Structure 1
Amino acid sequence: MEKRSQKRAPIYEALEMFKRRRVVPFDVPGHKRGRGNPELASLLGENCVGLDVNSMKPLDNLCHPVSVIREAEELAAEAFHAANAFLMVGGTTSAVQGMILSVCKAGDKIILPRNVHKSVINALILCGAVPVYVNPEVNSILGISLGMELRQVEQVMKANPDAVAVFVNNPTYYGICSDLPSIVRLAHSCGMKVLADEAHGTHLYFGEGLPVSAMAAGADMAAVSMHKSGGSLTQSSLLLLNQGINADYVRQIINLTQTTSASYLLLSSLDISRRNLALRGRESFARVVEMAEYARQEINDIGGFYAYGRDLVNGTSIFDYDVTKLSVYTLDNGLAGIEVYDLLRDEYDIQIEFGDICNILAYISIGDRIQDIERLVGALADIERLYKKDRAGMLSGEYIAPRVVVSPQKAFYSDKESVPVKEAAGRISGEFVMCYPPGIPILAPGEEITDEITEYILYAKEKGCSMQGTEDPKIENLMVLERREVHGDMVF
């Protein structure tokens, strides 16, 4: 089939044509191009609310695309070197869940690292699949979990030959990459699918000198957050399929949970951003890499902060590193990452992506400018000079290896009771506890609560991390399984 021109943006073009026709709306949405909600039009602009329209024949339908949306998906597949692509309007959460629900059924085993996003565990709750964890090594200084080592993956595969899939982060929030091509070869030799969470890896498809993308590595499916490093609107994402995956079946799975009222603001932003990356992504991400490496060098010259990068690569647990991730270790200044995060926002009007117990992450992408980098570096130098303190008594580490006692689905739907966090050790969690971002659970449903975990939860809360996942908004109590629910259950 002849390749389409990446200069096209069919959804955007259809919206432009629709706008010129001045169609009188007797359909939803009810704001009627903003006339019914002047404050909304004032906030977002008349052009924006004028294009917030419903599905109709000239604009196609995301649930069953036959014209402009289908063409936009085909262009996206070509741009990302995939066999098929789906435009997603429920964020990469919906793309991740689409992948897992497409390959896993109740009782199926899926091999994965524990440092996955909560959307992965949520998918297991929905479908009843059972996690088999490859517990990654932890960098004891930085307090971050590393990649999946090939030998560990092979051991888990041999111990669980009935597993249906392997799930890989490519890269992690902190920029760590596993040996994805080798994991793919190993998994396929065992008849297992490989699913990649590329929420933070859009640029891998367009930049040079960066870690391998999931499609290039031969992974079967990949969830790609276009809105993170690709420039589209928040909540817009892509689900990519390689050869050998039944795209029609995947569409049916997506439609189980995806809205039937897809936002054309999100769809057109995906269309336009794909075109932008296809035409200009190579040079855009070259500038991103240059800015990130410059920032890394300048921050390391401050003293007290450590902006890590390719110096971490060891060929095993850190097979490669995504240098666009400006991850910075802060504890040598006696400051938790979340404290630096708060200082940057409250004192310097700089909003970074996140801060955890040990690190901060400044997300650098195609919209950044060198003067913004200079401002960040200057603020960090100021913080080091003004706020540095003794680090005695500070915790380190964001990953605590869990013991899975019951499946996430069983735990989530079991009878539960509320107990104080300080008294929860020895019980089985019936809910999530996480710092968000990054959204990696400290506790997931079905895992045993330990003294180490409760200490970490209380410390993260004290330091000001944004804690989520619990029924109790104050994170003073945890929902745990009633003891009769645990008795006799299978231990995984």
Structure 2
Amino acid sequence: MTHLLQHKAPIMEALNQYKSMRVVPFDVPGHKRGRGNPELAAFLGEQCLSMDVNSMKPLDNLCHPVSVIKEAEELAAQAFNAKHAFFMVNGTTSAVQAMIMTACKAGDKIIMPRNVHRSAINALILSGAVPIYVNPGVHSELGIPLGMAVKDVEQAILENTDAKAILINNPTYYGICSNLQALTDLAHQHDMLVLVDEAHGTHFYFGDNLPASAMSVGADMASVSMHKSGGSLTQSSFLLINNDVSEGYTRQIINLTQTTSGSYLLLSSLDISRRSLALNGKEIFQKVAEMAHYTRTEINKIGGYYAYSKELINGDTIFDFDVTKLSVDTRDIGLAGIEVYDILRDEYDIQIEFGDIGNILAYISVGDRHLDLERLVAALAEIKRRYSKNKNSVFIHDYIRPQVAFTPQEAFYAPKQKLPISESAGYISSEFVMCYPPGIPILAPGERITEEILDFIQYSKDKGCFLTGTEDSDIANINVLKELAK
């Protein structure tokens, strides 16, 4: 990689040049560099609004880049060692959906773990692709879903040799990585595309001693959430392509759903953040890994909590672990992760990334200070002292193997009826139920509702998880398929 090129930030440079020209704007947006909306300008800052501009010749066009955006994409591709990088302004959700819709048409099979983000299953609703789920299993002590075992994927491939692609999480929300190289090689031997959801793995491209990235093992496509660990603005992301994936066709797929009014705030944040990581990424993520290691060590000294790391590695379903992740099991103090999450926010003014039934995740980045880490550790110690209970009070079951009766698209659009969720066992769901974050469905369209699933949904509600997905915002009722009564 030529560092000389990586010093450039073409979109930022073009915006600065445009601003210096003092052009009179008779185009959108209507706030006219903030003058038309003084309250917004005061809140966000005049500098910010002056960069919120329309696509025009000097600034290129995201739908069909030919100049500064094209150059910025080429720099990003070079930085990530990809054939091409697309700037995505509809979040990593749109990148995941573009990957699946590029690889699969209606009726095509795609092999994927069931613990995918809702965006992947949404892509199946949009495209009509058919999921072949691989059971990721669950860690018996921690209650977290694991990676995909190579033998399980091989079995899914041999049973579905007509599948077009395989989707892999790298890493999971908790930091767990599958054997990405082995799975990629296996899929390629059977002429399947390898799509990698790297929403939580941006740093794999720039850190030392971190798990393998999608592009490094020869995967075909990857969605990279730059706004998570990469430093760009929320909702900005990269879609990387490799090998024989067509740049032109992929852009056509992206343009089916992505806005034609790409935000230059988001685009420039991707450009500037890519430059920062390309030039300083190793040092940045070395510091993040050290901060996470220090905090893990201090939390494990408290007792009752378990901040886990590479000691979990088993060579297959936990092939590697992302040491920048601060994932902590809380059940030995008798509290669900979501309860610790709520106490940290309400009592200690500490906002962590998420809590589920058994775990919390605190997102560590270069923006954190040592003082903040100490405050988190002290708060967790105090929570243990003040709130701990009998550990048997916490239910463990974060993964329930689904019974798939219909494809997500068939179920989502099928004639449906509304039932009280408590009376829905035996029916086929036509919608999602999930805790957000992390946004991994407990129930997806096309899956049979069981008493076990209903117990888990009720338990999640009781513990304070934020449930989403159903048409009924209170999650008291659920839409089920009309045809399939008990």
Normalising by structure 2, we get a TM-score of 0.99
Q: Give the counterpart letter for 1:241 in structure 2.
A: I
Distance in 2 between the 1:84 and 1:369 partners?
Answer: 35
Match of 2:104 in 1: 104
In the TM superposition, residue 3 of structure 1 has moved relative to its aligned partner by: 8.2
Deviations 1:76-133 (Å, cap 9, x if unpaired)? 0000010100000000000000000001011111000000000000000111010001
Match of 1:355 in 2: 355
Gaps of at least 5 residues in structure 1 are 488-492
Give 1:318-467 correspondences, 5 Å limit: 318-467=318-467
What SS class does the counterpart of residue 167 from structure 1 fall into? strand
1:6/1:79 contact within 8 Å kept: yes
Gaps of at least 5 residues in structure 2 are none
1:4/1:75 contact within 8 Å kept: no
1:208 lines up with 2:208 in the alignment: yes
Distance in 1 between the 2:111 and 2:405 partners?
Answer: 16
Match of 1:114 in 2: 114
Distance in 2 between the 1:289 and 1:408 partners?
Answer: 39
Match of 1:74 in 2: 74
Give 1:116-265 correspondences, 5 Å limit: 116-265=116-265
In the TM superposition, residue 368 of structure 1 has moved relative to its aligned partner by: 1.4
Deviations 1:225-257 (Å, cap 9, x if unpaired)? 000000000000000011211111100000000
Q: Give the counterpart letter for 2:371 in structure 1.
A: Q
What SS class does the counterpart of residue 147 from structure 1 fall into? coil
2:417/2:481 contact within 8 Å kept: yes
Q: Give the counterpart letter for 2:349 in structure 1.
A: D
In the TM superposition, residue 2 of structure 1 has moved relative to its aligned partner by: 8.3
What SS class does the counterpart of residue 5 from structure 2 fall into? coil
1:416/1:482 contact within 8 Å kept: yes
1:142/1:397 contact within 8 Å kept: no
What SS class does the counterpart of residue 483 from structure 1 fall into? coil
Normalising by structure 1, we get a TM-score of 0.97
Distance in 2 between the 1:252 and 1:6 partners?
Answer: 27
In the TM superposition, residue 38 of structure 1 has moved relative to its aligned partner by: 1.2
What SS class does the counterpart of residue 138 from structure 1 fall into? coil
1:28 lines up with 2:52 in the alignment: no
Q: Give the counterpart letter for 1:225 in structure 2.
A: S
What SS class does the counterpart of residue 139 from structure 1 fall into? coil
Give 1:272-287 correspondences, 5 Å limit: 272-287=272-287
Distance in 1 between the 2:99 and 2:323 partners?
Answer: 27
Q: Give the counterpart letter for 1:151 in structure 2.
A: K
In the TM superposition, residue 392 of structure 1 has moved relative to its aligned partner by: 3.0
Distance in 2 between the 1:3 and 1:70 partners?
Answer: 18
What SS class does the counterpart of residue 366 from structure 1 fall into? coil
Distance in 2 between the 1:435 and 1:285 partners?
Answer: 29
Match of 1:6 in 2: 6
In the TM superposition, residue 136 of structure 1 has moved relative to its aligned partner by: 1.0
In the TM superposition, residue 39 of structure 1 has moved relative to its aligned partner by: 1.2
Match of 1:480 in 2: 480
In the TM superposition, residue 316 of structure 1 has moved relative to its aligned partner by: 1.0
Match of 1:306 in 2: 306
Identical-residue share of aligned pairs (%): 67
Distance in 2 between the 1:82 and 1:116 partners?
Answer: 23
1:230/1:366 contact within 8 Å kept: no
In the TM superposition, residue 427 of structure 1 has moved relative to its aligned partner by: 0.5
2:137/2:399 contact within 8 Å kept: no
Q: Give the counterpart letter for 1:388 in structure 2.
A: S
Distance in 2 between the 1:350 and 1:123 partners?
Answer: 34
Distance in 2 between the 1:465 and 1:37 partners?
Answer: 38
Query: Cα distance 1:374–1:3, how it changes in 2: closer, same or farther (>3 A)?
Result: closer
Query: Cα distance 1:248–1:4, how it changes in 2: closer, same or farther (>3 A)?
Result: farther
Distance in 2 between the 1:92 and 1:382 partners?
Answer: 36
Match of 1:84 in 2: 84
Distance in 1 between the 2:2 and 2:195 partners?
Answer: 29
In the TM superposition, residue 11 of structure 1 has moved relative to its aligned partner by: 0.1
1:354/1:361 contact within 8 Å kept: yes
Q: Give the counterpart letter for 1:383 in structure 2.
A: I
In the TM superposition, residue 483 of structure 1 has moved relative to its aligned partner by: 2.4
Q: Give the counterpart letter for 1:232 in structure 2.
A: S
1:150/1:316 contact within 8 Å kept: yes
2:334/2:393 contact within 8 Å kept: no
Distance in 1 between the 2:456 and 2:177 partners?
Answer: 26
What SS class does the counterpart of residue 441 from structure 1 fall into? strand
2:89/2:267 contact within 8 Å kept: yes
CA-atom RMSD in angstroms: 1.2
Q: Give the counterpart letter for 2:456 in structure 1.
A: Y
Give 1:43-62 correspondences, 5 Å limit: 43-62=43-62
Deviations 1:422-464 (Å, cap 9, x if unpaired)? 1111000000000011000000000010000001111101111
Name segments (4+ residues, structure 1) moved above 3 Å: 1-4
Q: Give the counterpart letter for 1:21 in structure 2.
A: M
Q: Give the counterpart letter for 1:148 in structure 2.
A: M
In the TM superposition, residue 264 of structure 1 has moved relative to its aligned partner by: 0.1
1:417/1:480 contact within 8 Å kept: yes
In the TM superposition, residue 366 of structure 1 has moved relative to its aligned partner by: 2.1
Distance in 2 between the 1:60 and 1:120 partners?
Answer: 30
In the TM superposition, residue 391 of structure 1 has moved relative to its aligned partner by: 2.7
Match of 1:490 in 2: none
Query: Cα distance 1:2–1:280, how it changes in 2: closer, same or farther (>3 A)?
Result: closer
Distance in 2 between the 1:288 and 1:479 partners?
Answer: 44
Q: Would you say how many aligned residue pairs link Structure 1 and Structure 2? A: 486
2:405/2:428 contact within 8 Å kept: yes
Q: Give the counterpart letter for 1:249 in structure 2.
A: Y
What SS class does the counterpart of residue 6 from structure 2 fall into? coil
